[in-house]
Amino acid sequence: MIKKIGVLTSGGDAPGMNAAIRSVVRSALFNKLEVVGILRGYDGLINDEFIELNHRSVSNIINRGGTILKTARSERFMTEEGQKLAVEVIKKNKIDGLVLIGGDGTYRGGNVLFSKWKIPCVGVPCTIDNDLNGTDFTIGSDTAVNTALDAIDKIRDTATSMERIFVVEVMGRESGYIAINVALAGGAEDVIIPGEKLDYERMCHEIVNGNVRGKISWIIIVAEGKAKAHEVAQEINQRTDLETREVILGHVQRGGSPSATDRIGASRLGAAAVDLLIKGEFGKAAGIVADKLNIVDFETAVRKKEVSFDGLYRLVKILT
């Protein structure tokens, strides 16, 4: 029987983490559960860094980026010794279940806690990369696309004014989600993503041909998991002799106020995670597929996501 739960955020922060914390806390309280926050992810769990959470502690955070619980990538939790300490802390604090908010690293940690140490825990998908199985959507990815889009719109102003080629690198680890979506929404001329061939010959041929017809500015989006903006820009410059600039959008994509989509998703998924704990469905993660809640176990959620962006990729090229 679950009476007291803990909630933590772990791994890279994502816009909407706070909205997810709010949902977990208020759903738990609605169900008469006690809820505590664990600071700094698995590191804070090992170090016994707990804070009391009540209805008011999560007031006015639904619109805030980052995470009020802080987050970290814990090396110690990867070790048997770190895990043992974490389990002792959970027992000492009489925590009956944990809600883990984060991405694949967070879920891997959850899987170890559940399958090896028998700690009841559930997951809420929260990463800008949108690379988890069992969900179409991860909290933060929509805001990240919009943040990158805003930057690309601005880059377009200078690209067209100065008639240059811009290579813009976006985050996403091995996933091309941000890159393909921002390329489509931003009207990029080309996009380089995992799963699609990086064909410099074709790309430079198109650039040179366009140049002859008077099209001088280009925006090429690169997913960080496929290539580096610097190398792509250099290669294009060497092959075409056209002036090229590179931009790495970086961590700006992780910040900012979450979009409505991320806030709504976070509210639904946080509540769904608490329901899972109450129902005794441990070792599982909540997700959304075709706008409906979908539940998968941690192991499935972290398997390499087989998603094809072929259709969107072709569309980017058709619309160029």
Q: What positions carry a catalytic annotation?
A: 129
Our finding on whether 129 is near ligand F6P (CB under 6 A) is yes
The Cα 250–Cα 217 span in angstroms is 23
Binding piece for ligand F6P, criterion CB under 6 A, among 85-93, 145-153, 169-177, 196-204: 169-177
Q: Which of residues 266-305 bind ligand F6P (CB under 6 A)?
A: none
Whose Cβ is closer to ligand F6P: residue 12's or residue 44's?
A: 12
Our finding on whether 103 is near ligand F6P (CB under 6 A) is yes
Whose Cβ is closer to ligand F6P: residue 131's or residue 189's?
A: 131
Our finding on whether 109 is near ligand F6P (CB under 6 A) is no
Two tokens, residue 293: 């809640």
H-assigned helices in 93-213: 104-115, 141-162, 177-185, 200-212
Binding piece for ligand F6P, criterion CB under 6 A, among 1-9, 18-26, 76-84, 125-133: 125-133
Whose Cβ is closer to ligand F6P: residue 23's or residue 253's?
A: 253
Our finding on whether 40 is near ligand F6P (CB under 6 A) is no
Q: By CB under 6 A, how many residues form the interface with ligand F6P? A: 10
Q: Which of residues 199-228 bind ligand F6P (CB under 6 A)?
A: 224
Radius of gyration of the chain (CA): 22
The Cα 301–Cα 276 span in angstroms is 16
Whose Cβ is closer to ligand F6P: residue 195's or residue 210's?
A: 195
Least distance between ligand F6P and beta carbon 134 (Å): 17
The upper half-sphere exposure of residue 318, i.e. CA atoms within 13 Å in the direction of its Cβ, equals 6
Binding piece for ligand F6P, criterion CB under 6 A, among 44-52, 165-173, 274-282, 310-318: 165-173
3-state helix, strand, coil in the chain (%, to 5): 45, 20, 35
Least distance between ligand F6P and beta carbon 286 (Å): 19
Distances (CA, A) of 120 to 36, 99, 114, 255: 15, 9, 6, 31
Q: Which of 5, 8, 9, 12 binds ligand F6P (CB under 6 A)?
A: 12
Our finding on whether 181 is near ligand F6P (CB under 6 A) is no
The Cα 181–Cα 110 span in angstroms is 30
Strands of 121-125's sheet, edge to edge? 50-52, 34-38, 4-9, 97-102, 121-125, 284-289, 292-297
Determine the residue type at 240. T
DSSP 139: B
Q: Is 100 left (phi over 0), alpha (psi -120 to 50) or beta?
A: beta
Our finding on whether 254 is near ligand F6P (CB under 6 A) is yes
Binding piece for ligand F6P, criterion CB under 6 A, among 122-130, 239-247, 285-293, 298-306: 122-130
Least distance between ligand F6P and beta carbon 254 (Å): 5
Our finding on whether 172 is near ligand F6P (CB under 6 A) is yes
Q: Which of 40, 70, 173, 284 binds ligand F6P (CB under 6 A)?
A: 173
Least distance between ligand F6P and beta carbon 179 (Å): 11
Q: List CB contacts of 44: < 8 A, sequence separation 6 or more.
A: 8, 38, 50, 69, 70, 72
Q: Which residue has the tokens 């091309």?
A: 176
Our finding on whether 121 is near ligand F6P (CB under 6 A) is no
Whether residue 194 contacts residue 142, with contact meaning beta carbons closer than 8 Å, is answered with no
Q: Which of residues 223-252 bind ligand F6P (CB under 6 A)?
A: 224
Our finding on whether 65 is near ligand F6P (CB under 6 A) is no
Question: Which run of H or of E encompasses 239?
Answer: helix 229-240
The binding site for ligand F6P (CB under 6 A) comprises 12, 103, 127-129, 171-173, 224, 254
